[in-house]
Amino acid sequence: MATPSTPRPRTSTRDPEELRARLDAWIGTWQPGATATGLTVPQSNGMSSETVLFDLRDGDGQVRPCVLRLAADPDAFTVFPRYDMERQYRCIELAARTKAPVPRLLRLVTDPRVLGAPGFLMERVEGRVPPDVMPYTYGGNWLHEAGDAERAELERASVALLAELHTAPVAEAAFLRSTAPGDTPLRQHVNEQRAYYAWVVEGRPPSPLIERAFARLEQLWPADEGETVLSWGDARIGNVIYQGFTPVAVLDWEMAALGPRELDLGWFVFLHRFFQDLTVAFGQQGLPEFLDRERVVAQYARASGHTPRDLDFYTLYAALRHAVVMLRIGYRQIHFGETPAPEDPDRLILHRDSLEAMVAGRYWG
């Protein structure tokens, strides 16, 4: 993410006009006479899968607001080595089997020749999302300016949403089974992250901090990993659309997997701390009482009937995973000439102080 002292990294190298022409041609094959109008690529677009907004106008003038999700542009030094859009589509189908709100799916396109990349189309859900840039922990945005009771309602509803997603029928999620080595879903998940880290640093300086974090994980490994559920992956309030303070749509499934419930809980708690710690580092108070770890754990237990455990392990793992992503984004900025290469690669990890403290066992104290 960008901070007050760093520019927002480049997110795409795609030509919007070429995409518009491809989109019109594709729509015409399944809804003759319909066209895409008002196409925009949000400034807040992420650096992995891309989001394109447009209105689908049919021959009778009826308009349907839509969202197109496309696999990352391979010319944009992708954050992840692989983007399986069909996998994301099927995750949303699975989540729709629960009471959690998800956008209505319209079309899947797996042939990259159609739109320039695989992707899928959904109906657009109106509402608002806690911003990443500048993050919602900074002043001036709707969530920061809300009252304590309103934020408490959003927190409670968001934790309940997470618990509901974990009721998805795992028996129908064989497509998410990992091929990584390991005798449990958690061990496979961590081994996948090790492989991702190896891909990130191939031909580049490794991160001593990330390697220490991997070693610390082994010391904290849970004795009982518990039930395997559908793990949303990028479980955070920045991937939820809210109307008022009520969740109305869950977004972004590119990090989905099978694993313990605490994978999502650790990520959910840590990603708030990531934004909060950065906000404090830049001299602002942020939202120190929001998404408190112990309160989130208690709320999840009430909503699910499952008492979360080993949160020191899972929050450290979340911080480690995010550090690998940050390292890749840092190398990406270097690739595009947006920042010089530092002597110490750990300087590319924005939350390195927090991760250091977690590795040392003094962060949550």
Mean pLDDT, the chain, as a whole number? 93
Identify the CA nearest to 108 among candidates 131, 130, 92, 126. Answer: 92
Spatial separation of the C-alpha atoms in residues 12 and 54, rounded to whole Å: 18
Query: Which token pair is 20?
Result: 């518009």
User: Between β-strands 228-231 and 246-250, what pairing exists: parallel, antiparallel or unpaired?
Assistant: unpaired
Is pLDDT at 324 greater than 60 in this prediction?
yes
Greatest pairwise CA separation for the chain in angstroms? 64
Cite the DSSP H helix spans in 336-363: 352-360
Task: Indicate the CATH number for domain 142-360.
Answer: 3.90.1200.10
Is pLDDT at 9 greater than 80 in this prediction?
no
Model pLDDT, residue 75: 75
Model pLDDT, residue 7: 47
Model pLDDT, residue 5: 44
Model pLDDT, residue 3: 46
User: Which residues pair with residue 64 across a beta bridge?
Assistant: 56
Work out the angle at residue 232's Cα, subtended by the Cα atoms of residues 228 and 235, and round it to the nearest 5 degrees.
125
Query: What is the model's pTM?
Result: 0.93
Model pLDDT, residue 13: 55
Q: What are phi and psi of 3, to 5 degrees?
A: -125, 175
Q: Calculate mean pLDDT across residues 310-336.
A: 96
Helix (H, G, I), strand (E, B) or coil at 225: coil
Segment 37-96, tens digit of pLDDT: 999 887 654 456 889 999 999 888 899 999 999 998 777 789 999 999 999 999 999 999
Kindly provide the residue ranges of all beta strands, DSSP E only, lying in 94-244, ordered along the sequence.
105-109, 119-123, 228-231, 240-243
The answer to whether the beta carbons of residues 121 and 104 sit under 8 Å apart is no
User: Which member of 73, 234, 310, 312 is catalytic?
Assistant: 234
CA dihedral 119, 163, 266, 169 (to 10 degrees): -50
Query: 252: alpha, beta or left, given left = phi > 0 and alpha = psi -120 to 50?
Result: left
Q: Give the CA count within 13 Å in the CB-facing half-sphere of 116.
A: 23
Model pLDDT, residue 44: 53
Domain-wise residue ranges, the chain = 16-123, 142-360
Spatial separation of the C-alpha atoms in residues 109 and 252, rounded to whole Å: 17
16-123 CATH choice from 3.90.1640.10, 3.40.50.10540, 3.40.190.10, 3.30.200.20: 3.30.200.20
Q: Calculate mean pLDDT across residues 268-296.
A: 97
Identify the CA nearest to 263 among candidates 191, 210, 318, 305. Answer: 318
Model pLDDT, residue 93: 98
Spatial separation of the C-alpha atoms in residues 353 and 346, rounded to whole Å: 10
User: Between β-strands 257-260 and 246-250, what pairing exists: parallel, antiparallel or unpaired?
Assistant: unpaired
Let me know if 344 is a catalytic residue.
no
